[in-house]
Structure 1
Amino acid sequence: MESTLKELRDGNTVLEVDSKSAVSGGVRDVHGEDAATEDQIVTPWTISVASGYSLLRNPHHNKGLAFTEKERDHHYLRGLLPPSVVSQDLQVKKLMANIRQYTVPLQKYMAMMDLQERNEKLFYKLLMDNVEELLPVVYTPTVGEACQKYGSILRRPQGLFISLNEKGKILEVLKNWPEKNIQVIVVTDGERILGLGDLGCQGMGIPVGKLSLYTALGGVRPSACLPVTIDVGTNNQKLLDDEFYIGLRQKRATGQEYAELIHEFMCAVKQNYGEKVLVQFEDFANHNAFDLLARYGTTHLVFNDDIQGTASVVLAGLISALNLVGGTLAEHTFLFLGAGEAGTGIAELIALEMSKQTQAPLEETRKKIWLVDSKVVQTQSAPSKMKYFLLCGLLYSSYRFK
């Protein structure tokens, strides 16, 4: 069947009917991406912003000067843009020249966020074409400073802010988000942002930045990504005293109150977006991060990058390194400086791999791994003096190996 496209102009909206898409189950959005997914309900129409002024201010569909002459006629853009038609590649070249003029990383970050808020396609084109240069700008380390100053630099909120004030109505809050076919959610409660500690509601920069990488490096549609910050307060007194702080001005909720809010969120996510939506827990404190994985690992599709993602990459590196140093994992002893989410997650995955290779109990393979925090070797036994000698011996062995 030949595709027929009818347009019914009503104010700032165009209703597009594509009969071919209706038959095949796809929904064609001529202003952006293909909105169809394997689980999408067959719908013969889609509503999209399609007239001049509104279109130019919709970051999902705006192309700026890249709109062609035909598109400018079709979407009522005549007079709203300078007459020159500039390709996306040339726009990327101009923007990179502008960004490179900034000497302060936070200025580059803000320039990138401004671009994302007005021209999403150009933002991802710029990021994908200049990954090595811009990755440290949109994510670590610059995103850390951005989170510290989030209250001062916030212009247009990105993502959903769910606080204790929304308890009992989180499902309604999720429905306020304009995109319905969400595939990936990155959520934080802001308690352990990078190595900066408790940044409360200002941790939103982390989910936003991480999902930019999901799109630029993983190919996930931007409209399928949802950044979420769960605000249960902060124990950072500096933020509580800051007049520009954007979150709840109270100490962190803990215990049952905290658990109930998280559980309501997880249930609402599953109800609103289905069982296949991925929920990534990001920068939760250790005492919550492991508990959340254990609690929801059997009922939801969940992932913790600090615990699982980093561990898988490090384990892959160790297995590759065995080709040079020889032996098996079980024949080596591993010393970790730091016992946070990443260190503990890596250690556990190494122990699991040892157990899998040797068929030894997990409790035995864990004995080949030592974790040291800023004060002492992490162990439940051995006098402090014994800990000291064990640590010195391990360090000496490491030195000899080098």
Structure 2
Amino acid sequence: SAGVGVASMIAQGMMMQGLSEEEALSRFCLVDADGLLATDDSRHYTMEQKKWVREDMKSGMSLVEVCKEFKPTVLMGLSSCAGLFTEELVREMAKHNERPFIFPLSNPTKNAECTAEQAYEWTDGKAIFASGSPFEPVTLKDGRVMHTSQCNNMFIFPGIGLAASAAKCTKISDSMLFAASVAVANSLTDKDRAEGRVYPQVSQIREVSIEVAEGVAKKAIEENLSKVWTKRDIPDLRELIVRKMYSPFYVPLVERGARRVMA
């Protein structure tokens, strides 16, 4: 399922930062339509689900029960179940987190686990919010306007494609995808964060794509996955990337007598 896939990629990122697999998996609770995945359950789990079942909690626990016992910092929804993130659940998240991450990632909008307005209202404006569907900005009680971010791959794939083409990568590894994610996160400005954004503004897509391409190409070089660049090229990588970047512009035409020539 999408939930298992997303959890797997996040766990891999944690392991790339130094955690063991056991440590990474211990930071997750997966809940499906029948409740928490745990070992004391008679259900037959898929191969993908088995490594996520918890041994220290009761199977079938609801989201609210899991939140009270496990006290997660991030709540991610990939259920396509509208309204799954109830007021009780979101307020429980806010009880034990100064800035709870509320990510209703299902789409279209009608399937979102909660709305941006609900997430901010139920956390008294403390939520860090991103969603799978677009939402309008939300004005908080203190007058601040929070600009919601849509959580998808639009900031990732242009830079990955540019790096793969420029570096002539033989494959795209998981660590290259992680490098792309880090580059996007590092592209956020203090102003973006103050406005509630989790992703950069769309107007910065070209600049972000350069950052992503540089990070991905560097990782490709480190893993010997580039056919044309080596570690000696790393200091000049940004310049090499920019040279390969497509810039859409039209060459102006100038009238000269009866002929048209390119300026």
Structure with the higher fraction of residues in helix conformation: 1
Whether TM exceeds 0.5 here: the answer is no
Normalising by structure 1, report the TM-score: 0.25
